[in-house]
Protein backbone atom coordinates (compact mmCIF):
# COMPACT_ATOMS: atom_id res chain seq x y z
CA UNK A 1 0.00 0.00 0.00
CA UNK A 2 1.21 3.53 -0.74
CA UNK A 3 0.01 6.85 0.61
CA UNK A 4 -0.23 10.33 -0.89
CA UNK A 5 2.66 11.24 1.45
CA UNK A 6 4.99 8.91 -0.53
CA UNK A 7 5.09 6.13 2.04
CA UNK A 8 5.07 2.48 0.95
CA UNK A 9 4.12 -0.22 3.47
CA UNK A 10 4.99 -3.88 3.34
CA UNK A 11 6.26 -6.92 5.20
CA UNK A 12 9.89 -7.74 5.71
CA UNK A 13 9.16 -11.29 6.86
CA UNK A 14 9.68 -12.51 10.42
CA UNK A 15 6.79 -10.32 11.61
CA UNK A 16 8.26 -7.00 10.47
CA UNK A 17 5.90 -4.32 9.14
CA UNK A 18 8.02 -1.76 7.31
CA UNK A 19 7.41 1.76 5.98
CA UNK A 20 9.55 2.86 3.03
CA UNK A 21 10.10 6.23 1.39
CA UNK A 22 8.39 5.46 -1.93
CA UNK A 23 10.53 7.98 -3.83
CA UNK A 24 13.86 6.28 -3.11
CA UNK A 25 12.93 2.90 -1.59
CA UNK A 26 14.78 3.60 1.66
CA UNK A 27 13.26 2.14 4.87
CA UNK A 28 11.57 4.87 6.91
CA UNK A 29 10.59 2.86 9.99
CA UNK A 30 9.39 -0.55 11.12
CA UNK A 31 7.49 -2.36 13.82
CA UNK A 32 7.84 -5.95 15.00
CA UNK A 33 4.43 -7.68 15.01
CA UNK A 34 3.64 -10.91 16.85
CA UNK A 35 3.14 -12.64 13.48
CA UNK A 36 3.74 -11.85 9.81
CA UNK A 37 1.21 -9.37 8.39
CA UNK A 38 -1.69 -11.47 7.13
CA UNK A 39 -3.45 -8.87 4.98
CA UNK A 40 -2.78 -5.75 2.98
CA UNK A 41 -2.66 -2.65 5.12
CA UNK A 42 -5.47 -0.12 4.92
CA UNK A 43 -5.48 3.55 5.79
CA UNK A 44 -8.21 5.66 7.38
CA UNK A 45 -8.66 9.09 8.95
CA UNK A 46 -10.18 9.59 12.38
CA UNK A 47 -10.38 12.89 14.27
CA UNK A 48 -8.15 14.50 11.63
CA UNK A 49 -5.30 11.98 11.98
CA UNK A 50 -4.28 9.33 9.44
CA UNK A 51 -3.86 5.74 10.62
CA UNK A 52 -2.55 2.54 9.05
CA UNK A 53 -4.26 -0.72 10.06
CA UNK A 54 -2.72 -4.16 9.47
CA UNK A 55 -3.42 -7.65 10.79
CA UNK A 56 -0.66 -9.90 12.08
CA UNK A 57 -1.97 -13.38 12.76
CA UNK A 58 -5.09 -12.90 14.87
CA UNK A 59 -4.09 -9.43 16.11
CA UNK A 60 -4.79 -6.03 14.57
CA UNK A 61 -2.32 -3.14 14.74
CA UNK A 62 -3.12 0.52 14.13
CA UNK A 63 -0.35 3.07 13.64
CA UNK A 64 -0.93 6.81 13.68
CA UNK A 65 1.07 8.70 11.09
CA UNK A 66 2.82 11.85 12.28
CA UNK A 67 1.31 15.13 11.11
Q: Any idea where the domains of the chain sit in the sequence?
A: 7-64
pLDDT tens for each residue of 9-49: 888 778 889 999 999 999 988 899 988 888 788 999 999 99
The whole-number pLDDT of residue 14 equals: 83
Is the alpha carbon torsion for 13, 34, 41, 29 positive or negative? negative
User: Rounded to an integer, what distance in angstroms lies between the CA atom of residue 45 and that of residue 34?
Assistant: 25
Amino acid sequence: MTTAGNLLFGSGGSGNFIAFDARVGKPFGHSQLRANPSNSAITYVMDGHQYILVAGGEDYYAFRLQD
